[in-house]
Amino acid sequence: MISSLAEIEALAKAAEPVTTAIIAPEDHEFMLAVKDARNRRLIEPVLIGRRAVIEKAAGKINYDLNTTPIIEVTDRQKIANTAMEMLSSGEVEMVSKGQISTSYVYRAIIARMKARQEEAVISVQTFWDIIGCDHLVLLTDTGANISPDESEKRAILNNALQVMPLLGYSCPKVMELVSDSTNLKDKHKHFKLAKTPVIKDSKGCSYQRLEAQVLKKVLLGEHGDSVNLNSLPHIMLMPDLNTGNVIAKLDFLIKEIVRVSCSYTSMGPVLLPSRADIAEGIMREFIFGVALVAQRRRLSND
Amino acid sequence: MINLYPEIRRRAERLKPQRCVVSYATDEVLLKALTIVKKEGLITEPIFIGPRKLPDMHDFRQSTSMYASAQMAHECCIRQEADLIIQGHEKRQQFIASHLEGGFLDQKSVYLAAFYDRNRKQTFFAIDPLVAVAPTLENRIKQLETVTPFLKHIFRRKIYAAALAPIETVNPKLPATVTAAILAQMSVRHQFGKFLQVTGPLDIDCALSKVAAQRKGVESKKSGNFDLYILPDTNSSYFFSTFLKYIGKVPTIGVLLAADRHLLLNSAPLTVSERVAEITLCLVAYNFSRK
């Protein structure tokens, strides 16, 4: 079981470079991460977007693009579509979003999933490496579904259950976050999975459900006097986008947390760095994506 | 006294002692905290309602159930034996629900969570992890009408609030973005008075980091330094508080502000210092509302 981002980095360093379609790398900070990742032989980038803007961003950081392929596409949706088609066909093993609205990327993913006749519920998985916790914690969905209903939550969970075995979590503990206030007053539109049967993915990977719906009960244990972060579940299902978005980025306030995010699909990982991320954070996402691809390769070889 | 929450501590100086009733008092941390607060002259001898009398409970009244305790505490306030109700060890939902049934909480009620940022040595606040589960715009306006004068009293200056939403642009499919934009515009027009400036909608990264805001092209001079975070709904607010408290180890207290009376909920587990701070916050709120 991979328990930290340091272990993820070791996996990534040992891997062969991953061909990566980069969607609209039009900002020097982002380009800096691409350059660094390429220099460290983590990725082989294929840049997709407006050539002039890409070259300008590269020029700012002295990135020589002579040996980096650029596919010129100007329409925003077509840029995202091109990257996803390359991922679907196996031409690249990973996709990363650059300076483009995430909605274009979501639409491109959904279009490819539909073309492949797959369940078209995309979700964003945010991983936390927390000091004092002996495992990684996956929060989902932190970016795509505004107010997921029960079937969407199952799909979100299934997406999470696809990625966790890659990190060695064959039977992850899952917790659906529900605040204890939801019983207090009006019954807000809030869908719980608690009464649905245990979900298994296509490979028969099941998960243990934690009975407690209130996080603090889990963290504090029976005696309720001290916090044990090792009790955190491996997967935390977010109630909705409002919560997922706020919680996923608490690393800005909590220094003990390091965050990486992606949208893992059957085609491979799609990295979704925030426009707010600086090169260091974007680099962390590249490393994470490369490690996931390395694990996919290993599993398919096995 | 306490080293946390200096702004709250300053406002508690020279307060006259208040009378309080503790509903279902079995919590040792609370008893220790009350002893400290009493020694500081902030409260008189408390009335304790609970299943059994413990040492130092001089004014003790027995009750057999949590529900009966809440009712008895409520009656103490009606008979003007006490000014404040403090939640003891009973379940929070039962405690609040008993007061909801009694018509205690109205639309202006709001749970104000207070956090102490040890790095900045500064207090910041968030609403509302408890009362309005899916707040409407009207809920939010009324809550801000309750919170703003109180925070102005605490900070003695203009209050800067971030109205959080998943994205920075207004999208009708995301009601939190619409509410945030309206609140921001209302503050521009001074509809909450001249002492509240709301910025929004703001994604939390832009609210917490100046660098993130700049990267996203969001103009916000107060990024990373807001006094108040208006969370989109109860779930987001509840888990915001819970994660900060348990994973971030950020001291977290709170008070339920109501139009005419305030309830002091038990945000256990708290250290004695945090519980002292929480009681003090409630006393400051009570005195402010009486003015």
- Retrieve residue B97's tokens: 């629900």
ipTM of the complex: 0.89
Query: What are A246's two structure tokens?
Result: 């706020």
Confidence bin at A191 (pLDDT 50/70/90)? very low
Q: Is A181 in contact with B176 (Cβ distance < 8 A)?
A: no
Q: Tell me the nearest-neighbour CA distance from A215 into chain B, angstroms.
A: 8
What per-residue confidence (pLDDT) applies to B123? Answer: 93
Q: What would the pLDDT profile of B219-260 be if each residue is shown by its tens digit?
A: 888 998 999 999 998 889 988 998 999 999 999 999 988 766
Note the pLDDT of residue A210.
Answer: 52
Residue in B92, B174, B239 nearest the CB of A177: B239
**pLDDT reading at A262 higher than 50:** yes
Half-sphere exposure of A224 (CA within 13 A, CB side): 9
In a mutagenesis test of the B interface, which of A126, A130, A245, A277 is the best target, namely the one with the most B β-carbons within 10 Å? A245
B269 closest CB neighbour out of A185, A220, A274: A220
Confidence check: pLDDT of B291 > 50: yes
CA torsion angle for A8, A9, A13, A18 (degrees, to 10)? 70
| pLDDT for residue A63 | 94
Asked if A179's CB is within 8 angstroms of B238's CB, the reply is yes
User: Nearest 5 degrees, angle CA B275-CA B278-CA B279?
Assistant: 90
Indicate the pairing of strand A125-130 with strand B59-62.
unpaired
Percent of chain B with pLDDT over 70: 92
Of A146, A184, A246, the CB nearest to B97: A184
In order, the DSSP letters of A46-82 are EEEE-HHHHHHHHHHTT---TTS-EEE--SHHHHHHH
- In chain B the first and final C-alpha atoms are separated, in Å, by 25
- Among B234, B244, B245, which would you mutate to test the A interface (most chain A Cβ atoms within 10 Å of its Cβ)? B234
- For B205, which of A180, A242, A274 is closest by C-beta distance? A274
Are the C-beta atoms of residues A287 and A8 closer than 8 Å to each other?
A: yes
Sequence-ordered list of residues with C-beta below 8 angstroms from that of B13, at least 6 positions apart, any chain: none
- State phi, psi for A48 to the nearest 5 degrees: -125, 130
Q: Is the peptide bond before A165 cis (omega within 30 degrees of 0)?
A: no
User: Which residue shows structure tokens 């920075």?
Assistant: B168
Residue B259's pLDDT is 61
The answer to whether the beta carbons of residues B176 and B140 sit under 8 Å apart is: no
Closest among A104, A105, A101, A99 to A25, alpha carbons compared: A99
Which residues of chain A have a CB within 8 Å of the CB of B213? Answer: 276
Cβ atoms of residues A167 and A136 within 8 Å: yes
In three-state secondary structure terms, B17 is: coil
Show the tokens assigned to A41.
Answer: 């032989």
Residue A264 φ then ψ, to 5°: -85, 130
User: Closest chain A residue to B136 measured between Cα atoms?
Assistant: A188
* A182:B215 CB<8 A: no
A216 inside 8 A of chain B by CB: yes
Q: Chain B: give the shortest CA distance to residue A300, in Å.
A: 37
Select from B164, B143, B173 the least CA-distant residue to B235. B164
Candidates B173, B204, B242; nearest CB to A245: B204
Bridge partners of residue A262, in order along the sequence: A125, A271
From B51's Cα to the closest Cα of chain A, the distance in A is: 21
Give the residue on A whose Cα is nearest the Cα of B206. Answer: A276
Question: Looking at residue A189, what is its pLDDT?
Answer: 40
* Cβ <8 Å between B247 and A242: no
Query: What gap in Å lies between CA B7 and CA B284, rounded to an integer?
Result: 11
* Whole-number pLDDT of residue A197: 39
What pLDDT band is residue B66 in, cutting at 50, 70 and 90? confident
Task: In whole angstroms, give the CA distance from residue B60 to residue B45.
Answer: 11
Asked if A274 is an interface residue toward chain B (Cβ–Cβ < 8 A), one would say yes
Q: To which residue do tokens 């009362």 refer?
A: B131
Contact in structure between A6 and A286 (CB atoms under 8 Å): no
Q: Residue B236: list chain A partners with CB under 8 A.
A: 242-243, 245-247
- pLDDT per residue as tens digits for the range B85-108: 888 887 776 677 666 655 556 777
Q: Which residue has the higher pLDDT, A91 or B97?
A: A91
Residues from chain A contacting residue B131 (CB–CB below 8 Å)? 185
Q: Dihedral angle at the C-alpha atoms of B56, B61, B63, B66, nearest 10 degrees?
A: -60
Beta-carbon separation of A241 and B174 below 8 A: yes
Give the pLDDT confidence score for residue B100 in this predicted structure. Answer: 60
CB contact (8 A) between residue A180 and residue B93? yes
H or E element at residue A41: none
Return left, alpha or beta for B241; rule: phi > 0 is left, psi -120 to 50 is alpha, else beta. alpha
Residue of A29, A240, A254 lying closest to B248 (CB–CB): A254
3-class SS of residue B80:
coil
Q: Do B133 and A181 touch (CB under 8 A)?
A: yes
Residue percentage of chain A with pLDDT more than 90: 67
Residue B4 pLDDT = 79
Contact yes or no for A184 and B130 at CB 8 A:
yes
Q: Can you give the pLDDT at residue B262?
A: 65
User: Per the structure block, which two tokens stand in for B175?
Assistant: 């009601």
Residues of chain A found within 8 Å of residue B97, distances taken between Cβ atoms:
184
Q: Is-contact A27 A56, C-beta < 8 A?
A: no
H or E element: which one contains B196? strand B196-202
Cα–Cα distance measured from residue B253 to residue A12, given in angstroms and rounded to the nearest whole number:
42
- A276–B250: do the CB atoms touch at under 8 Å? no
A207 pLDDT higher than 70: no
**Contact state of B238 with A181 under an 8 Å Cβ cutoff:** yes
Q: Give the pLDDT score at A6.
A: 96
Q: Which of B171, B183, B182, B176 is nearest to B204 (CA)?
A: B176
Q: Are A76 and A100 in contact (CB under 8 A)?
A: yes
Q: Is there a contact between B248 and A253 if contact means CB atoms under 8 Å apart? A: yes
Residues of B in contact with A142 (CB under 8 A): none
For residue A203, CA distances in Å to A122, A171, A197, A247, B54 come to 20, 12, 17, 30, 58
DSSP reduced 3-state for B126: strand
Q: Say whether A180 and B205 touch across the interface (CB within 8 A).
A: no
How far apart (Å, rounded) are the C-alpha atoms in residues A269 and A288?
9
Per-residue pLDDT tens digits for B122-178: 899 999 877 767 788 998 999 999 999 999 999 999 999 999 999 999 999 999 999
Tokens 């991983």 correspond to what residue?
Answer: A127
Cβ A182–B204 below 8 Å, yes or no? no
CA of B214 vs chain A CAs: smallest distance (Å): 8
Between CA B262 and CA B265 the distance in angstroms is: 9
Q: Is A222 an interface residue toward B (CB < 8 Å)? A: no
- In chain B, which residues have their Cβ closer than 8 Å to the Cβ of A276? 203, 205-206, 209, 211-213, 215-216
**A223 in reach of chain B (CB within 8 A):** no
